[in-house]
Amino acid sequence: MRKINSVHFISYEDRGKISGRFMFVVIRLVGRNLWDLRMESPERRFSMATGIRAAEQTLSGIRDLHIDINKGIFQCGYLHRDIKPPNFAIGREEDGNPHTIYILDFGLCRKYRTDDKDLRYMREKAAFRGTTRYASIGALEMKDQCRKDDVEAWWYMVLEWMIGQLPWKHCRGTDRAEVKLYKQQLRIESNLRKVLKHTPEEYMANIIMYIDTLEYNSIPDYDHIAAHLEAAMSRTCSSES
């Protein structure tokens, strides 16, 4: 993955192996992660403008992990499988990039293509990978994950930093069935409107409805999602001016 051409990936400095013990990589130091930054924000949520800009950058990082084309050559093809705020961090003032968000922690990554660049066949059942709070419904059902699952987890992450807490915040990591039920019930129109009340409701609703149309072999339209975020930003700026 060191060949990925993206501003949202940290410089890969070195790697090595301690015989019989572990392998390691050396990456450039980054700043604070988005979980810590949110927890220190008023009401534990970002301002709407900050939340939307963070959503745009994190989506861009996920897109670059999924698909990286450099000079017409397909180079990447990985699922993250653990999208959550602690796995994104800002740059450092000392490096002159404090407003850039980086995607971190590739320990649960999995290639979704074979060496011949074909899409892997969907397994009938797969072990759970991820963090229950943000995991997609499919992941919670032990289904083989795909690009859709990363994007769905991203939406829950964005929702959290827009409203301050998710409806299933009280659930433990082992309460997968309960969290799955909360997420399914969120699709009921009245529930969705209530949860999105203090967000750019129209755009957040359109994004999750679009995500729900995706299937295992679907290529998410990242530009379509980004367009909703940009429209939400325009609406936010207009209302604040």
Q: Which residues are catalytic?
A: 82
Rounded distance between C-alpha atoms, residue 91 and residue 109, angstroms: 22
Q: Residues 6 or more apart from 157 whose CB is under 8 A from it? A: 58, 83, 84, 85, 134
Backbone dihedral region for residue 188 (phi beyond 0: left; psi -120 to 50: alpha; all else: beta): beta
Rounded distance between C-alpha atoms, residue 195 and residue 231, angstroms: 20
- Sign of the C-alpha dihedral, residues 70, 73, 75, 77? positive
Which residue from 121, 103, 99 is spatially nearest to 112, judged by alpha carbons?
121
